[in-house]
Amino acid sequence: FALHRKNYENIYSFYRERRPKITWKIIFQGFLCGLFGGSLGHNLYMESMALTSATFITAMANLIPAVTFVVGIHIYIYKLEKLEFGTAVGKTKVFGTLMGIGGAMLFTFLQRLFF
């Protein structure tokens, strides 16, 4: 899993025609991405598997796209995500976010009722 996840970035950057010059800033940013991007996320995921149930972990993993969308909307300065509610795309984004949050809440509540 981790091999496929990291290879997509490598393949994309390998076949680019124009590459940026490698400076100390880029090396430092790559170091930070390697430190916090892959290893920290996987270690926290494995530690949470030991401390909680698989149902709760699955519900939280399903919330990642919803949280990313909400954070993208709230960062007004960078304008990462535009929400035009009048269009079908905007309505679909909001509906999908609400469905993801609702499904995660349903998993969590049903786990507490039956287990």
Least confident window among 26-30, 41-45, 86-90: 41-45
Average pLDDT over residues 38-48: 78
pTM listed for this prediction? 0.46
The single-letter code of the amino acid at 65 is: P
Q: Mean pLDDT over residues 79-86, rounded?
A: 73
Tokens encoding 7: 């290879």
With vertex at residue 72, the alpha carbon angle to CA 71 and CA 78, rounded to the nearest 5 degrees, is: 120
CA angle 61, 67, 69 (to 5 degrees): 125
Can you give 80-108 as a three-state secondary structure string?
Answer: CCCCCCCCHHHHHHHHHHHHHHHHHHHHH
- Predicted confidence at residue 47, as pLDDT, reads 84
